[in-house]
Amino acid sequence: MSGRSSWPVALTLVALIGALLIAFIFYRTETWPLRTTHQGMDETERVARDVKNAFVSIAHLQPRITINNRVYVEQSTPTSELALISRQVEVEHEFVHTWLGSSKRVKLHGTFNVKAGFDLRQNLSVDVRSTDILIHLPHAQILDVTEQRVDVLAFENGFWNRISAADVQNELSILPQLARQKAAEGQLAAEAERALQQQLEQRVHTAQPLKLVFPEPRPVD
Protein backbone atom coordinates (compact mmCIF):
# COMPACT_ATOMS: atom_id res chain seq x y z
CA MET A 1 0.00 0.00 0.00
CA SER A 2 2.83 2.43 0.91
CA GLY A 3 4.59 1.64 -2.40
CA ARG A 4 1.47 2.32 -4.43
CA SER A 5 0.78 5.60 -2.63
CA SER A 6 4.34 6.93 -3.17
CA TRP A 7 4.17 6.68 -6.97
CA PRO A 8 1.74 9.62 -7.45
CA VAL A 9 3.91 11.76 -5.17
CA ALA A 10 7.05 10.86 -7.13
CA LEU A 11 5.35 11.53 -10.46
CA THR A 12 4.07 14.88 -9.17
CA LEU A 13 7.58 15.80 -7.99
CA VAL A 14 9.11 14.84 -11.35
CA ALA A 15 6.47 16.86 -13.20
CA LEU A 16 7.09 19.85 -10.94
CA ILE A 17 10.86 19.67 -11.49
CA GLY A 18 10.31 19.37 -15.23
CA ALA A 19 7.99 22.38 -15.25
CA LEU A 20 10.51 24.43 -13.26
CA LEU A 21 13.30 23.39 -15.65
CA ILE A 22 11.25 24.37 -18.69
CA ALA A 23 10.37 27.70 -17.08
CA PHE A 24 14.03 28.37 -16.28
CA ILE A 25 15.13 27.58 -19.84
CA PHE A 26 12.37 29.80 -21.22
CA TYR A 27 13.39 32.66 -18.90
CA ARG A 28 17.06 32.40 -19.87
CA THR A 29 16.13 32.33 -23.55
CA GLU A 30 13.85 35.35 -23.26
CA THR A 31 16.30 37.43 -21.23
CA TRP A 32 19.43 36.48 -23.19
CA PRO A 33 19.40 39.56 -25.51
CA LEU A 34 18.91 41.90 -22.55
CA ARG A 35 21.67 40.25 -20.53
CA THR A 36 24.00 40.32 -23.52
CA THR A 37 23.28 44.02 -24.02
CA HIS A 38 23.98 44.77 -20.36
CA GLN A 39 27.22 42.79 -20.45
CA GLY A 40 28.31 44.61 -23.59
CA MET A 41 27.47 47.98 -22.05
CA ASP A 42 29.35 47.10 -18.86
CA GLU A 43 32.44 46.21 -20.92
CA THR A 44 32.14 49.38 -23.00
CA GLU A 45 31.87 51.53 -19.86
CA ARG A 46 34.92 49.76 -18.40
CA VAL A 47 36.88 50.65 -21.54
CA ALA A 48 35.66 54.26 -21.30
CA ARG A 49 36.88 54.42 -17.69
CA ASP A 50 40.25 53.02 -18.75
CA VAL A 51 40.55 55.68 -21.46
CA LYS A 52 39.64 58.44 -19.00
CA ASN A 53 42.15 57.16 -16.43
CA ALA A 54 44.83 56.86 -19.12
CA PHE A 55 44.48 60.52 -20.08
CA VAL A 56 44.43 61.58 -16.44
CA SER A 57 47.67 59.65 -15.93
CA ILE A 58 49.40 60.85 -19.10
CA ALA A 59 48.12 64.41 -19.50
CA HIS A 60 46.44 65.24 -16.17
CA LEU A 61 43.13 66.00 -17.85
CA GLN A 62 39.84 64.31 -18.56
CA PRO A 63 38.74 64.29 -22.22
CA ARG A 64 35.15 64.39 -23.38
CA ILE A 65 34.11 60.75 -23.78
CA THR A 66 31.03 59.44 -25.54
CA ILE A 67 29.79 55.84 -25.69
CA ASN A 68 28.01 55.22 -28.99
CA ASN A 69 27.36 59.00 -29.26
CA ARG A 70 26.03 59.18 -25.68
CA VAL A 71 28.03 61.50 -23.42
CA TYR A 72 29.78 59.50 -20.70
CA VAL A 73 31.98 62.24 -19.16
CA GLU A 74 32.59 65.87 -20.07
CA GLN A 75 36.05 67.30 -20.70
CA SER A 76 37.83 69.03 -17.86
CA THR A 77 39.25 72.47 -18.63
CA PRO A 78 42.55 72.01 -20.52
CA THR A 79 45.14 74.58 -19.47
CA SER A 80 48.49 73.26 -20.67
CA GLU A 81 50.44 71.41 -23.31
CA LEU A 82 51.53 67.77 -23.28
CA ALA A 83 55.16 67.27 -24.27
CA LEU A 84 55.90 63.61 -25.05
CA ILE A 85 59.19 63.70 -26.95
CA SER A 86 62.34 65.70 -26.14
CA ARG A 87 65.44 65.78 -28.34
CA GLN A 88 68.76 67.63 -28.34
CA VAL A 89 69.28 69.36 -31.68
CA GLU A 90 72.51 71.00 -32.88
CA VAL A 91 72.63 73.58 -35.67
CA GLU A 92 75.14 75.97 -37.22
CA HIS A 93 74.78 79.19 -39.15
CA GLU A 94 77.31 81.44 -40.84
CA PHE A 95 76.94 85.11 -41.81
CA VAL A 96 79.33 86.75 -44.29
CA HIS A 97 79.02 90.32 -45.54
CA THR A 98 81.39 92.22 -47.85
CA TRP A 99 81.35 95.97 -48.36
CA LEU A 100 83.90 97.84 -50.49
CA GLY A 101 86.22 94.88 -50.39
CA SER A 102 86.04 94.52 -46.59
CA SER A 103 84.38 91.34 -45.25
CA LYS A 104 82.99 90.47 -41.86
CA ARG A 105 82.09 86.93 -40.80
CA VAL A 106 80.17 85.38 -37.90
CA LYS A 107 79.63 81.65 -37.46
CA LEU A 108 77.67 80.23 -34.53
CA HIS A 109 76.93 76.72 -33.29
CA GLY A 110 73.82 76.22 -31.17
CA THR A 111 72.57 73.34 -29.04
CA PHE A 112 68.84 73.30 -28.29
CA ASN A 113 66.37 71.11 -26.42
CA VAL A 114 63.29 70.63 -28.63
CA LYS A 115 60.00 69.25 -27.27
CA ALA A 116 57.11 67.87 -29.34
CA GLY A 117 53.61 67.01 -28.19
CA PHE A 118 50.01 68.19 -28.15
CA ASP A 119 48.30 71.49 -27.43
CA LEU A 120 45.68 70.42 -24.88
CA ARG A 121 43.85 73.72 -25.21
CA GLN A 122 42.49 72.49 -28.53
CA ASN A 123 39.62 70.04 -28.97
CA LEU A 124 40.06 66.55 -27.56
CA SER A 125 37.29 63.95 -27.52
CA VAL A 126 36.94 60.17 -27.37
CA ASP A 127 34.18 58.04 -28.92
CA VAL A 128 34.04 54.51 -27.50
CA ARG A 129 32.13 52.18 -29.80
CA SER A 130 31.64 48.44 -29.93
CA THR A 131 33.88 48.20 -33.01
CA ASP A 132 36.67 50.65 -32.15
CA ILE A 133 37.82 53.56 -29.99
CA LEU A 134 38.25 56.87 -31.84
CA ILE A 135 40.34 59.59 -30.21
CA HIS A 136 39.85 62.95 -31.95
CA LEU A 137 42.66 65.44 -31.40
CA PRO A 138 44.88 67.90 -33.30
CA HIS A 139 48.19 66.81 -34.78
CA ALA A 140 51.24 66.86 -32.53
CA GLN A 141 53.56 69.83 -33.06
CA ILE A 142 56.82 71.36 -31.92
CA LEU A 143 55.92 72.91 -28.58
CA ASP A 144 59.16 74.38 -27.30
CA VAL A 145 62.71 75.16 -28.44
CA THR A 146 65.04 75.97 -25.54
CA GLU A 147 68.60 77.15 -25.97
CA GLN A 148 71.16 75.03 -24.14
CA ARG A 149 74.44 76.42 -25.45
CA VAL A 150 75.77 78.72 -28.17
CA ASP A 151 79.41 78.57 -29.31
CA VAL A 152 81.11 81.19 -31.47
CA LEU A 153 83.06 79.40 -34.20
CA ALA A 154 84.08 82.54 -36.09
CA PHE A 155 84.00 86.25 -35.30
CA GLU A 156 85.98 88.15 -37.93
CA ASN A 157 85.75 91.91 -38.50
CA GLY A 158 86.62 93.59 -41.77
CA PHE A 159 89.03 96.52 -41.81
CA TRP A 160 86.17 99.03 -42.04
CA ASN A 161 83.23 96.60 -42.21
CA ARG A 162 82.70 95.88 -38.53
CA ILE A 163 80.38 93.33 -36.88
CA SER A 164 77.52 95.17 -35.16
CA ALA A 165 75.33 94.18 -32.23
CA ALA A 166 72.43 93.85 -34.68
CA ASP A 167 74.45 91.34 -36.72
CA VAL A 168 75.00 89.18 -33.64
CA GLN A 169 71.39 89.48 -32.49
CA ASN A 170 70.13 88.48 -35.91
CA GLU A 171 72.35 85.39 -36.00
CA LEU A 172 71.22 84.40 -32.50
CA SER A 173 67.57 84.66 -33.56
CA ILE A 174 68.15 82.43 -36.59
CA LEU A 175 69.54 79.48 -34.60
CA PRO A 176 66.29 78.45 -32.82
CA GLN A 177 64.43 78.69 -36.13
CA LEU A 178 66.93 76.29 -37.65
CA ALA A 179 66.59 73.96 -34.67
CA ARG A 180 62.79 73.93 -35.05
CA GLN A 181 63.09 73.25 -38.77
CA LYS A 182 65.58 70.43 -38.22
CA ALA A 183 63.32 68.81 -35.59
CA ALA A 184 60.35 69.04 -37.96
CA GLU A 185 62.33 67.44 -40.78
CA GLY A 186 63.30 64.69 -38.33
CA GLN A 187 59.60 63.84 -37.83
CA LEU A 188 59.69 64.68 -34.13
CA ALA A 189 55.95 65.53 -34.09
CA ALA A 190 55.05 62.23 -35.77
CA GLU A 191 57.16 60.46 -33.15
CA ALA A 192 55.11 62.19 -30.43
CA GLU A 193 51.91 60.86 -32.02
CA ARG A 194 53.30 57.32 -32.02
CA ALA A 195 54.36 57.73 -28.39
CA LEU A 196 50.82 58.75 -27.38
CA GLN A 197 49.37 55.78 -29.26
CA GLN A 198 51.73 53.39 -27.46
CA GLN A 199 51.08 54.86 -24.02
CA LEU A 200 47.31 54.62 -24.49
CA GLU A 201 47.51 51.03 -25.73
CA GLN A 202 49.59 50.11 -22.67
CA ARG A 203 46.96 51.54 -20.32
CA VAL A 204 43.70 50.69 -22.13
CA HIS A 205 43.11 46.94 -22.24
CA THR A 206 40.54 46.15 -24.92
CA ALA A 207 40.08 44.01 -28.01
CA GLN A 208 38.81 47.03 -29.98
CA PRO A 209 41.39 48.88 -32.09
CA LEU A 210 42.37 52.26 -30.68
CA LYS A 211 42.77 54.95 -33.35
CA LEU A 212 44.03 58.53 -33.24
CA VAL A 213 41.86 60.63 -35.58
CA PHE A 214 43.21 63.97 -36.83
CA PRO A 215 40.84 66.55 -38.38
CA GLU A 216 43.20 67.81 -41.07
CA PRO A 217 46.51 66.99 -42.80
CA ARG A 218 49.66 67.63 -40.81
CA PRO A 219 50.62 71.31 -40.95
CA VAL A 220 54.04 72.33 -42.19
CA ASP A 221 56.16 73.52 -39.23
For residue 4, what pLDDT is reported?
54
* Rg of the chain, C-alpha, whole Å: 34
Q: How far apart are CA 95 and CA 172, in angstroms?
A: 11
96-155 tens-digit pLDDT: 999 989 999 999 999 999 999 998 877 788 999 888 899 999 999 999 999 999 999 999
Report the mean per-residue pLDDT for the chain: 83
- Residues 67-81, mean pLDDT to the nearest whole number: 76
pLDDT per position as a tens digit, 165-193: 999 999 999 999 999 999 999 999 999 99
Q: What is the pLDDT of residue 216?
A: 73
List, for residues 1-56, the tens digit of each pLDDT value: 455 556 666 666 666 676 666 655 655 555 444 434 444 457 788 888 898 888 88
